[in-house]
Amino acid sequence: MTELKNDRFLRALLKEPVDVTPVWMMRQAGRYLPEYRASRAKAGDFMGLCTNPERACEVTLQPLERYPLDAAILFSDILTIPDAMGLGLYFETGEGPKFRKPVRTAADINALKVINPEQDLPYVTGAVRTIRRELNGRVPLIGFSGSPWTLATYMIEGGSSRDFRQAKQMLYNQPEQMHQLLDILADSVIAYLNAQILAGAQAVQIFDTWGGALSHQAYQEFSLRYMKKIVQGLLRENEGRRVPVILFTKGGGQWLELMADTGAEALGLDWTTDIGLARQRVGQRVALQGNMDPTILYASPSRIREEVGNILKSYGQGSGHVFNLGHGITPEVDPEHAGAFIRAVHDLSAEFHR
């Protein structure tokens, strides 16, 4: 087992002392990088990158070659699970993900089976093993999955959606049917994340991208409940180290106390929540990850640096903060600006760890 040379990301998630605040970016391997676009062109398309462990490894490492990031994230997608369930995932250029066979009826749901990751998604565990080997202990590797509710929205709508009309129709009209689907997804996510952990993922993040579209009651019944089930089903230690879980509900700032009750080590914040106020609310219970508005990366490097300073100051003294954007970096961002952001986090944060 290779020794980790930089473990400040894992230490911050466990609120252990660090020298500077660790930083990574959601979607750090992606279209804003010309080298990513070149790899994608060579692979043919996005799924051609995901399904080939050598190529997935190559693009995972690209942002780490450019920037002093404190973590790598597996290059894959949350929609690999529904694809493995037979829904037929495809990407139409400029239109986002689509499914050939969306889930609409009770019969569709009855036909679904919990996935077996090593058998159904060998390219994902293969990518995790390849990336760990190539990282050679440089930084920790993050594994990830979508939340059951977020996966269900894509499966029912057949792709992205603005209002989640069909998913919410099922939720309100056939709640038992929705629960049946979410249960199959939660069991699949547990198996999927545990397989990633056993293959070498050193922390895992659950992306609940659409939890914030639910009402206060519906969030607890249809999203949070299943994320709690997942957290309780995960391997929490591997290779002699704690494997921290990060829960990210976009638009979930009003539910942080409830999210902390799941037993996750850390909560992801989008930019609509003040990180200092969030820290007061959750106290010592969880670490916080976030939360700069990704569109600030379109502003000047000096304005980016100022905003990094504001967020560090709001979080305040001590460990328990992993710096990140409040959502994924967008394709039009200048890579120089991303570099200015990452440098600013390391430069300006040392004084908060003395």
**Which residue of this chain has its Cβ atom nearest to ligand CP3 in the complex?**
209
- Does 29 count as an annotated binding residue? yes
- 99 near ligand CP3 (CB under 6 A): no
* 226 in contact with ligand CP3 (CB under 6 A): no
209 versus 223: smaller Cβ distance to ligand CP3: 209
Judged by CB under 6 A, the stretch of 1-9, 20-28, 123-131, 287-295 that binds ligand CP3 is 20-28
What is the spatial distance between Cα 322 and Cα 290, in angstroms, rounded to a whole number? 7
**How far apart are alpha carbons 32 and 24 in whole angstroms?**
15
**Residue 206 binding ligand CP3, by CB under 6 A:** no
**In contact, 243 and 197? CB cutoff 8 Å:** yes
CA angle (147, 150, 153) in 5-degree steps: 145
Give the whole-angstrom CA distance, residue 107 versus residue 231: 29
Task: Indicate whether 83 belongs to the interface with ligand CP3 (CB under 6 A).
Answer: no
Number of CB atoms found within 10 A of residue 272's CB:
14
Is 154 catalytic? The answer is yes
Given 7, 70, 77, 208, the catalytic residue: 77
Q: Which is nearer to ligand CP3, 46 or 222 (CB)?
A: 46
Reduce the DSSP state of residue 91 to 3 states and report it.
strand
Measured from the CB atom, the residue of 30 and 200 that comes closer to ligand CP3 is: 30
The reply on whether position 207 binds ligand CP3 by CB under 6 A is yes
Residues 32, 36, 154, 219: which is the catalytic one?
154
Q: Which among 75-83, 173-181, 259-267, 305-313 is the span making contact with ligand CP3, rule CB under 6 A?
A: 75-83
Q: Are strands 141-146 and 287-292 parallel, antiparallel or unpaired?
A: unpaired
Q: Residue 212 burial by CB count (10 A; 0-12/13-18/19+): exposed, middle or buried?
A: middle
**Nearest alpha-carbon partner for 289 in 87, 6, 7, 10:** 10
Q: Quick check: is 19 catalytic? A: no
What stretch of H or E contains 291? strand 287-292
Active site residues: 27, 31, 40, 77, 154
Would you list which residues are annotated within the binding site for substrate? Answer: 27-31, 77, 154, 209, 327
Residues that bind ligand CP3 (CB under 6 A): 26-31, 40, 46, 73, 75, 77-79, 96-97, 144, 146, 160, 207, 209, 328
